[in-house]
Amino acid sequence: MKFLQDYVSREQVERFVVGLPKQTNGLDSENLPRVHAFVKKLGVMFPDIPVEWWDERYTSVMAHQVMLDSGIGRKARQNKALVDEISATIILQGWMERRR
């Protein structure tokens, strides 16, 4: 949250785009309560910035494929933080493409 506070104080933020964790069958994932708690904190800290949800199903699979296609080594592909970073990029890209 400190990072977001600092970022919002320096940059104009129109909205937050948050991945909606669902299982492949469309049911809520076990992570959904944690993400809802995070979004609730966003709403308290930044009441004037809307939050939009984006289906994050398959983004980890897509991130791994991006890593394979780019030639990233096996050890780096096991780095969950890197997978999450690429997945977040895929989520934002999908959201932006939908807006066009």
- Residue 58 three-state SS: coil
| Domain range summary for the chain, segments of one domain joined by + | 1-56, 58-100
CB atoms closer than 10 angstroms to residue 45:
12
CA–CA distance, 27 with 32 (Å, rounded to integer): 10
pLDDT tens series, the chain, 100 aa: 999 999 999 999 999 999 999 998 989 999 999 999 999 999 999 999 999 999 999 898 899 899 999 998 888 888 889 999 999 999 999 999 998 8
pTM: 0.82
In the CATH scheme, what is the homologous superfamily, with its name and number, of domain 1-56?
YqgF/RNase H-like domain (3.30.420.140)
- Among 64, 63, 60, 85, smallest CA distance to 74 is for 64
